[in-house]
Structures are given as structure tokens and as C-alpha cells.
Structure 1
Amino acid sequence: MIGPTAPRVRRITRPDVILRGEEVGAGPTFLLLHAGGERRQVWGPVSEVLVDAGYRCVAFDQRGHGDSEGSARTLSACAEDVAAMVHTEPPASVVVGASLGGLAAIAALADPAVRARVAGLVLVDVVPCLEPSRVRRFLASVGPLGAHTELVEDTLAQAPRLRQVTAELDLPLLLVHGGNGSSLTDEDIDQLLHLAPHTTVRPIRGAGHLIARDQPVALAQAVIATTAAWR
């Protein structure tokens, strides 16, 4: 028998790709969206803390990543995948998106039908206020863009729309950002607070851009502490 803490295989068939993932735990749901170039397994240590606290975690490989099919070339395709994920989950799920995952979540939440099924959004070291030259420099500093160049440029082009959607969101928002080596500046955070003044901001010491890797326990604890009242 598979217990509540044993991973269970998930699969979503989209018109052009199959998305593969897993779920673990039982209770209120967190949908975990990884960063570009990552895989769903990055959430493993975070999920352990969340499951121990009585939550259920669902994580898919985004298209063109890990075990999922296809290629990630446009933000809208990733956002449509996120929408499909949300519609397979119970109402009042909390979406947690790191970097690309956070931006795809914002784009997906432009749809009222998606928003209606979500209790709140956690952005992990990402904001919709994207300054193209600085984003390109940062991404180049952490590794070659390679196959993701087209997706990066398309996402940067969507920045005005992402800001508009964020400003119109009536959902609770949490920004968790790294304290060391983060991709964000104080100005970025101020711009997010200008768009969505109700955002809660939590820094994580000892973490860079990939907080799920650097400080998974602190990330999970910050998410639990802030989102408990959202559902």
C-alpha cells in the first residue's frame, strides 16, 4: 500500500506535450513550479517539511524539462500548462513559483477561472518588474542560456503584461527572496510593492536565487508561516 508520504505519479496530457510529475502527502495543496533549467526534484527537501506539517505537495517538470515532453519556447505555453495543473487540483491550492515558475504562474492567473481555484501565490526570488539587460547579465552569470534563449526573450517581452496582471491580482501574495546572490534588488522589491501593496516580503539569509536548493527548510517554514491563513 502506498502511504501518504510516498510519492505518487502524476501525468497531464496537453494538446502538444505530456507533463509528468508527482504528488506527496495529504492535506491542503501546494503546487510547486520550478525555475528554468531545473526539475521537479529540486522541491524534494521543501516538500518534506511541508508534508510533515500536514500539507500535500504537487510538482511537475515543466515542458522541455526533466521527464516532461516538448520544449519551452514561450511563456504563454508554460502559463497554459500551469493553468492545466491548477484545474487538476482541489480549490484553494497555493501556487509556489520559483523564477520561471513564478512568472508562468502570474501569466496563468490572468485567467479568472484559474484565479478562482487559487488561494494565493508565492513568488520565489522573482518579480514581474523585469529589466532586460540586467536579467540577461544575471542569467549569463549563472550559466549558458543555450536552449532557453528563446524563452528568456519571450518572457522579457511579456514584462508589461506581467506587471499589469500583478497589479490586478486580488489574491494574497508572498515574495520570498534570497539574502545573498539573489537576482533581486531593493528597487525590484519596491516596484512589486507598488504594484501589489498587500504583498508580504520574507528574505531568506544564506540563500541565493535558487532558494529551494540553498535553504529549503527556511523556504518551507516561511511559506507555512505566511500562507496558513490564506485558505
Structure 2
Amino acid sequence: MELTLRRKDTTLRGTATGTGPTVLLLHAGGERREVWTPVAARLARRGLRTVAYDLRGHGESTGRATSLPLVSDDVVAMIHEERAPVVVVGASLGGLAAITPLADPEIAQAVAGLVLVDVVPDPDPLKARAWLDERGLRDAHDELVEDILGRGPALRSAVAKIELPILLVRGGPGSPFTDAEAERLRTANPWVKVTRVTSGGHLVARDAPDELADLVADHATEWLR
């Protein structure tokens, strides 16, 4: 089922798949909602409904993603569109965009849990820029990248305030994040659990969709219960 979410300065296009409690899937920067298609299909077989939008400035959605708060505001609108409770799954940019909203108890009450897919709130800016540059991923979204990298302390503070189960799914070889960064996130919030998909790189949904879907389904089912 195709979805349209109209906002003041953008129109977001999405796809809903399956029936049951809702899992909101937020893609990484430079991606589009189709990256979630195999994950959504597997979650549907596990009795979960998924909703995946193109983030602003990506895919079929309009607008520009020039700052993280703009994307975060869209995530709040997506959550409010759905019947509570939902589970939020965010990869890279999608995960970062969910952190600040879910630190707000009024928004968090509509959410059963958060899955962060290979993303931490406070990556090392120099290493992050180098990793993006090596893959030619920074030029198209440089304004957004710099905005995010300047928000590390604020995002770290926000994630510490989230009173929801949080699962960090780390990628395997090719992930830009270190054990120390994952441990810093776990230390910041006692709700955090960490697991790893070694068969995937940074884009776990693209590299290992079945393994990621099973992790999401297992935890979502438990949280929603």
C-alpha cells in the first residue's frame, strides 16, 4: 500500500507492507525506502506490519534534508500517523533522526522500542568524514553531514534520556564504528543491548536483510508484548 504524508515544506512518500503491529523503518542517508523491501517481506511473514518512507530529499519525497532536526520532525509526524505502539528501526541517518524525538516522553509513549542499525550518536567527526569521502557519499549531503557531526554531545545527551528498550545492531567488516563507540552508547543508557551482524557492512539492511529482519522481529515481538 502506497502512503503519502504531507508536511508544511515537503511531501513524504511511503509504503506499508503486511498486517499487525507497526514497525517504522527509517533508511540511511543516500538510500531510499526500497532498501527495506526484503526486510519488510520477512517481517510480514512474522506477523508485523511495516511502514517505510523515503526521507525528505530522498527517493520520491520532496524537500531538502539540510539539518537533522528537519528529518527528526518528519519522524515525529510518521510516528503520529500510526496506531501506537510502534517499533522504530533507524539505519544511520534514520537512527540519528529518531534519537532526539524519543528522548521526549510524550513522543516515546507511542513507541515500544528502538533499533539502531550501525549508528552511534557521537561518531568521531574526522573518521566519519574520511569514511564518507572514501565512498563518495559526502558531497550530495555535506550540509546535513556537518550539521549531524556538530550535534554529537547533544545526541549523546538525548540518547541517555530515552526510557525505551534500545537494540544496537552493529555491522561487520566495513562498518565505520568501533567497539569503544558501541560501548560508549551502552554505558550512556542502561536500556541498550548490542548485537552484531557480521555478514553485513554499514548498510545491514542491504547486505543481510534476512538476519536483520529476524533480529527486529524477535525484539519487536517481545517489546510489543
TM-score of the superposed pair, with normalisation by structure 1: 0.94
Tell me how far 1:144 sits from its aligned partner.
3.6
Aligned to 2:3: 10
Which of 88, 94, 102 does residue 87 from structure 2 map onto?
A: 94
Q: Which amino acid aligns with 1:90?
A: R
Q: Which amino acid aligns with 2:191?
A: H
Tell me how far 1:143 sits from its aligned partner.
1.9
Q: Which amino acid aligns with 1:46?
A: V
Superposed CA RMSD: 1.0
Contact 1:122 1:223 in 2 (8 A): yes
Aligned to 1:202: 195
Tell me which moved more, 130-139 or 117-126. 130-139
2:55 aligned with 1:48, yes or no?
no
Contact 1:129 1:191 in 2 (8 A): no
CA–CA separation in structure 2 for the residues paired with 1:49 and 1:29: 14
Tell me how far 1:16 sits from its aligned partner.
0.5
Number of equivalent positions: 224
CA–CA separation in structure 1 for the residues paired with 2:98 and 2:135: 23
Q: Which amino acid aligns with 1:50?
A: L
Tell me how far 1:139 sits from its aligned partner.
1.1
CA–CA separation in structure 2 for the residues paired with 1:144 and 1:192: 25
Structure 1 runs of 4+ with >3 Å offset: none
2:182 aligned with 1:189, yes or no?
yes
2:55 aligned with 1:62, yes or no?
yes
Contact 1:62 1:68 in 2 (8 A): yes
Contact 1:130 1:156 in 2 (8 A): yes
Contact 1:32 1:57 in 2 (8 A): yes
Q: Which amino acid aligns with 1:179?
A: G
Tell me which moved more, 79-88 or 191-200. 191-200
Which of 141, 151, 156 does residue 148 from structure 1 map onto?
A: 141
CA–CA separation in structure 2 for the residues paired with 1:126 and 1:219: 14
SS of the residue corresponding to residue 223 of structure 2 reads coil
Aligned to 1:168: 161
Contact 2:103 2:163 in 1 (8 A): no
CA–CA separation in structure 2 for the residues paired with 1:88 and 1:144: 31
Where structure 2 has 5 or more consecutive residues not aligned to the other structure, the ranges are none
Contact 1:202 1:222 in 2 (8 A): no
Contact 1:72 1:78 in 2 (8 A): yes
SS of the residue corresponding to residue 228 of structure 1 reads helix
CA–CA separation in structure 2 for the residues paired with 1:146 and 1:121: 29
Aligned to 1:76: 69
Aligned to 1:122: 115
Aligned to 1:136: 129
Tell me which moved more, 138-147 or 60-69. 138-147
Contact 2:123 2:177 in 1 (8 A): no
Q: Which amino acid aligns with 1:185?
A: T
CA–CA separation in structure 2 for the residues paired with 1:106 and 1:140: 25
Where structure 1 has 5 or more consecutive residues not aligned to the other structure, the ranges are 1-7
CA–CA separation in structure 2 for the residues paired with 1:196 and 1:144: 30
Tell me how far 1:195 sits from its aligned partner.
0.5
CA–CA separation in structure 2 for the residues paired with 1:69 and 1:16: 8
CA–CA separation in structure 2 for the residues paired with 1:99 and 1:39: 13
TM-score of the superposed pair, with normalisation by structure 2: 0.97
Contact 2:30 2:137 in 1 (8 A): no
- The percentage of aligned residue pairs carrying the same residue is 50
